[in-house]
Amino acid sequence: MQIEELRTVVEVFGKMQSALRRRQLGDDQIATDCTTGNDKPRMMKAA
């Protein structure tokens, strides 16, 4: 993956995480599923 693509993916992922945190009051389970799902380990490896 190119550096630019990686930055974009990380940026989008960060925005998703922020949005999830803001919505967590009503969407605890969804937020938990998203933050512990397949995306997180993949992002950690990429970053």
Please state the rounded mean pLDDT for residues 23-32.
56
Residue with the bigger pLDDT between 19 and 37: it is 19
Are residues 43 and 9 in contact, defined by beta-carbon separation less than 8 angstroms?
A: yes
CA distance linking residue 18 with residue 2, whole number of Å: 24
pLDDT at 11: 92
Tokens of 8: 């974009």
6, pLDDT greater than 70: yes
Are residues 43 and 10 in contact, defined by beta-carbon separation less than 8 angstroms?
A: yes
- Predicted TM-score (pTM) above 0.85: no
Between helix 3-23 and helix 28-35 the angle, nearest 10°, is 160
pLDDT at 4: 92
Number of H helices, E strands in the chain: 3, 0
